[in-house]
Structure 1
Amino acid sequence: MEKKRPIWLLFIVTALFIVAACEKNDPSDQFCDDSLQFDIDEFVEGVISDMESQNISGYQFVVNNDGTLYHSNAFGLARHENDPNGPIDMTVNTRLNVASVSKFIGAIALMIAMEERNVSLEFNVVNYLPESWRDTIHPDFRDVDSPHYLTFKKLLRMESSIDFIGSTPRPGDMLSEADMLTSLIRPPNANRDGLYQNANFTLIRVLIGEFFFQLDENNEDYDTICTDAYFKFLEERIFKPLNINPPDTADEINDYYDSPTYAMAYQWPFNESFQDPADGSLGWLHTSDPYLNGGSGGLVLSSMDLATILAFFKNDPQERLISNTQRDKIIAGELGLFESTLDGTYGVYLSKGGTRGPDGRTANGNCCDRAVRSRIMMFPNGVEAVLLTNSNHTSLGTVLRSNFDSAWKSGCNP
C-alpha cells in the first residue's frame, strides 16, 4: 500500500518552487507601470536633433512645462558672416517677425476688450464698427436671419463671408482701414466662409479702436491713429503686465527694420554659397508694414517673449493676462489658433504658425525662397513649445508634433 505524503510537505515544496521562479525574474518587472509616460527630455532632444541635422541657418526653441520654463536653446546665426554686419549669433532673445502668430495675440487682445465691454462672441460685429461705416455695410452682415450674419466668433474663426479685396483670396492681403470698409460694403461671398483671410484679423485694430479709444474715423489720419491705438492697447494690456519689452509701436517696428543687425531671412536647406542674382546677397533684408498688418501679422518677438505669453495664457490663476473665462473660449473655439491638430495621438494640439516670405520669384527661376518662420504649440499635458527660425523651414509644426508623439514610452519598456 502506497504511503501518503504529509500535507505540510506539499506546502513546503510549492513555496520553494514559487520563490525559485521569482528569483529568475527582474524584481522591477513585477512593479513597473506599463502605462505610457511622457519623457520631456526626449521631446526636447528630438526637436534639437531634427533641427540641427537639417542644415539650417538659425533657430530658437523654448519649452514650458505647466507654465514654468523648462528648456531654451538657440543655434546658428541671425546674420551670416557673408552678409552686412555679420556674423551675428542667434539667441533665444533675438526678435524675429513672427508673422501670423500675431493673430493669436490679436485674438487675446480682442477677447480682453470684449469682456471689459460686455460683448459676447455671438454679438454682431457691425454694431461695434465706426458709426459712419454701419449704414454703408452690406445688410446681410447685420441681418440675423442671413447665413452671412457677422459675429465675433465667425470673424475670429475665419468663418466670415467678407469678400475682401486684394490680389489673392487666401491668405489675402493685409488691408488699410479704407479697404476694409470697401470690402464690407461688397456683397458677401459664400466661398470665403471658412477661408483663411488675413483681413479678418486686421479688423481687430478697428474694433479695439472703437471699444477703447473712440476714434474719429473721418480724420484724414485715421489709418495711422487706429494702428497706433492698437499697439498702445497691446503695450498696456499684454506686454507691460508680463514684463516683456518688444518693439510695441509702429515706429519702433519700423526702427527694427532700420537696424543694421536684425535677423535676415535665408533659404532652407541653408546654402552659404547662394547669391541673389539681383544684388548678390545671401540673406534677405525683409520688411513689414505695421500700418497694414496690425492685428493680423508682423509683431517682432523672440521665443522667450512668446513662451512668456503662453505661460501666462495657460497657467496663471491670477489672470494677469486674460481671464480664465475668455481663455477657455479661445481654446474651445481655436480662436487665432487655426492650425491646431484636433485628433492628435494624445489629444488636441493647439497651434499657430507664421511665415514672412518667401521672397519673390523671377523669370530666371526661383528666387529666392528665403523666409522667417514661427510656430507655437500647446499640448494637452501642459507642455508648451515655441520654435522660430530665420529660414524657410516649412515643417516646424511637424517637427514639434512628431517628437511629442515619439516621447511617450511605457514605464516597463523605456
Structure 2
Amino acid sequence: MITTNKMFSAPNKSKLVKRLFIFFLFIAFTSCEVEESFNDFQTNTAVFNMDVFEQNLIDYVEAGGDSPIGWAYTISKNGNLERSDAFGKARNAADGSIDFTLNKEINVASVSKFYTAIAVMQLLEANNLTIEDNIADWLPNSWTIGPGVNNLSFKDLLKHESGLQSTNNNFDVTLGYQGLKDCIETGVVNAKTRNYLNVNFALYRVLIPSLWSNLEGSPAIDIENDANTQFMYLLYMQQNIFDRLSLPLVGCFPESRDVSTLYYNANDGSNNGGQYYGSWNNKSGGGGYFMTAMEMAKVNAYFEYTEILVTKDQRDLMKLHRLGMDVADPADEIHGNYYGKAGSIGTSSDPTVSQGVRTQIVMFPGTGVDCVIVMNSQGVTLQGTTSLRQMIYDAYNNAWVQP
C-alpha cells in the first residue's frame, strides 16, 4: 500500500510542479502586459503641473509688456498655500512709492458678492428658509412694494435674475439706501433673465440685517434706518465670516488715506497719480470690501474644505446655481467645473485710460487648486483675452502636461 501510494503520488507531484510553473509564467507574462498597458496609459494622460500653472499666470499677466502697477497672486492646494508672490507698487512714485505685497489691502470689488452670498446661505438656514422663498416680507415696512416684488426670491437676487431696474454706475445713488428703496418701488419691470446688476447684492445690505433680526439673541436692528443697516450688515459679516477665520477688522473702509492702495491704468507713468477709494459702507453688499490677497485665499480655503462657513449642502447649492459666483462657458471647464468670482472697478469704458482695480478668485475642485489674483490697475494686456477669469482658466488648462 505504501509502495502503491508512493508510485501514485510521485507522478502527481511532477504534474503539479509543471502546472504551477506554467501558471506562474502566465501570471508573470500577463503582469508585464498589464504594467506596460498601465504605463502607456500614464504616458498618454496629461496631468496638472503646479509649476507650469504658476509660470503661466505670471507670463499671461505680463504678456503685453504693460504689467499692472501692482499685483499679487496666491495658489493653494487642498486649502494649503502652495505658491504666492507680489509685484510692483501699491502707490507709484507720484503718490509716495509703497510696495504692493501679499498683505496689502486692496478693494476686492465684486468678489464681495461671494462673501455676501455665504452670509445669505447661513441666515436662510438659520431662519428655516430656502433660496426659493420670497424677499418681500424681509424688506422695511415703510418701503413701497412695486410690481412683481412679492414674487421675487432670494435666489433671483443671488443669480442676477431679478428683473429689477438699475444701472451699474453712480453707486452712491443707485446702491445707497434711497436708491434701493426706489428700485423696489419701481419693481420687476424687466425680464427675469440674467442681468448682472450690483443692486441685486446691495439689497442684501438690508436683507441680511433683517434676517438676522429674526433670530433669538440677535442685537437690536432697525432696518428702517440707513446707518443701522450699514453697521449691522458689516457686523454680521465680521462676526459670522471673518471672525470665524481669525481675520479681524475686515470691512468696507480703506487704510489711512496716506498709505492706502491707489488705483491706476497700466499705461500710467510714475508721475501719474492714482485713484483713491474711500468708504464703501453706504453702498456695500455687492462690492467694496478691502482685503489682502492672503485674506481672500483664506476665505477660499475655509469655504471649500471645511464647514465653518457653510455646510457641504449649502456649498453644493451655491455651486449648482453659481450663487455669488461667475457664470462661465462650460467649454472652458475642460477639467471639471470651475467656480469663481470676478471684480472690477474703472473710471472709464476706455481700457487705455481707465484707472481702477481688477480681482479674481477661482476654485478648481478637480485638483484641489484655487487661485487669487488682485491688481490695482486697469488696461493690462493679458495673454489672448481681456478677461482676467478667462486668463486664469487658460493658465490652468494649459498647465496639464505629459508626465
**TM-score band, normalised by shorter chain:** 0.7 to 0.9
Shift of 1:352: 1.2
Q: Describe how 1:114-133 pairs up with structure 2 within 5 A.
A: 114-133=124-143
Measure how far apart 1:131 and its partner are: 3.0
Partner secondary structure for residue 222 of structure 2:
coil
> Any residues of structure 2 matched to 1:140-289 within 5 Å, and which?
140-142=148-150, 149-164=151-166, 174-191=174-191, 193-213=193-213, 215-218=221-224, 222-248=225-251, 253=253, 256=255, 258-268=256-266, 270-272=267-269, 282-289=272-279
C-alpha separation in 2, matches of 1:342 and 1:211:
34
1:369 Cα deviation after fit: 1.4
**Which has the higher mean CA deviation after the structures are superposed, 173-182 or 377-386?**
173-182
Once residues 359 and 245 of structure 1 are traced to their aligned partners in structure 2, the CA distance between those partners, rounded to angstroms, is 34
TM alignment of 1:39-50, pairs within 5 A: 39-50=49-60
2:345 corresponds to: 356
Pair 1:328-2:316 in alignment: yes
State how far apart, in whole Å, the 1-side matches of 2:38 and 2:145 are. Answer: 71
Greater CA deviation, 320-329 or 30-39? 30-39
Q: 1:346 aligns with which of 335, 340, 356?
A: 335
Counterpart of 1:65?
77
Could you tell me how far 1:300 is from its partner in structure 2? 0.3
Cα distance, 1:398 vs. partner?
A: 2.5
Worse overlay, 342-351 or 226-235 = 342-351
The equivalent of 2:388 in structure 1 is 396
Report the CA distance between 1:404 and its aligned residue.
0.5
CA shift at 1:293, angstroms?
2.3
Is the Cα–Cα contact under 8 Å of residues 371 and 390 in structure 1 kept in the other structure?
yes
1:370 corresponding residue in structure 2: 355
CA distance in 2, matches of 1:286, 1:191: 36
- Cα gap change, 1:351/1:174 in structure 2, threshold over 3 Å: closer, same or farther? farther
Secondary structure at 2:81 match in 1:
strand
Q: Deviation digits for residues 291-340 of structure 1, max 9, x if unmatched?
A: 33211101001111110000000111xx1122212111111110011243
- Please name the residue that 2:217 is paired with: none
How far apart in 1 are the matches of 2:139 and 2:39? 65
The separation in 2 between residues aligned to 1:129 and 1:329, in whole angstroms, is: 24
* CA–CA distance in structure 1, aligned partners of residues 45 and 308 of structure 2: 36
- Partner amino acid for 2:234? F
| Separation in structure 2 between the aligned mates of residue 31 and residue 379 of structure 1, nearest angstrom | 24
TM-score, L = length of structure 1: 0.78
- Per-residue displacement from partner, 1:60-114 (whole Å, max 9, x unpaired)? 0001111111111111111122x2321x111111110011110111111111111
Shift of 1:41: 1.4
User: Hey, what's the Cα distance between the residues in 2 that align with 1:341 and 1:245?
Assistant: 36
Deviation of the 1:380 alpha carbon:
3.2
| C-alpha distance in structure 2 between counterparts of 1:153 and 1:111, whole Å | 10
Instruction: Tell me: CA distance 1:68–1:174, structure 2 relative to 1, closer, same or farther (3 Å).
Output: farther
Distance verdict in 2 for CA 1:43–1:185, change over 3 Å: same
Contact between 1:156 and 1:201, CA under 8 Å: does it hold in 2? Answer: yes
Q: Conserved in 1, the CA contact under 8 Å of 2:159 and 2:322?
A: yes
Structure 1: gaps (5+ residues): 1-21, 143-148, 274-280
Query: How much has 1:283 moved relative to structure 2?
Result: 3.2
Tell me the distance in 1 between the aligned counterparts of 2:249 and 2:388.
23
The CA RMSD measured in Å over matched residues stands at 2.9
* Structure 2, unpaired ranges of 5+: 1-31, 214-219, 381-385
Q: Do the aligned partners of residues 238 and 174 (structure 1) sit closer, same or farther apart at CA in structure 2, a change above 3 Å counting? A: farther
Amino acid at match of 2:390: T
Distance 1:409 1:360, change over 3 A: closer
How far residue 173 of structure 1 moved from its aligned partner, in angstroms, is: 6.4
| Cα 1:174/1:240, change in 2 over 3 Å | farther
1:132 partner SS: coil
The answer on whether the counterparts of 1:63 and 1:69 sit within 8 Å (CA) in structure 2 is: yes
User: Alpha carbons of 1:132 and 1:43: their partners in 2 closer, same or farther (altered >3 Å)?
Assistant: same
In 1, distance between residues paired with 2:102 and 2:347?
Answer: 23
1:13 aligns with none
Are residue 314 (structure 1) and residue 322 (structure 2) matched? Answer: no
Structure 1 residue 174 displacement after superposition = 4.3
The percent identity for this pair of structures is: 29
- Superposed displacement of residue 185, structure 1: 1.6
Change (3 A) 1:241 1:167: closer
Is residue 397 of structure 2 the alignment partner of residue 384 of structure 1?
A: no
Q: 1:117: Cα distance to partner?
A: 1.1
Q: Which residue of 2 aligns with 1:305?
A: 295
Structure 2 SS opposite 1:348: coil
Aligned partner (choices 107, 112, 117) of residue 107 of structure 1: 117
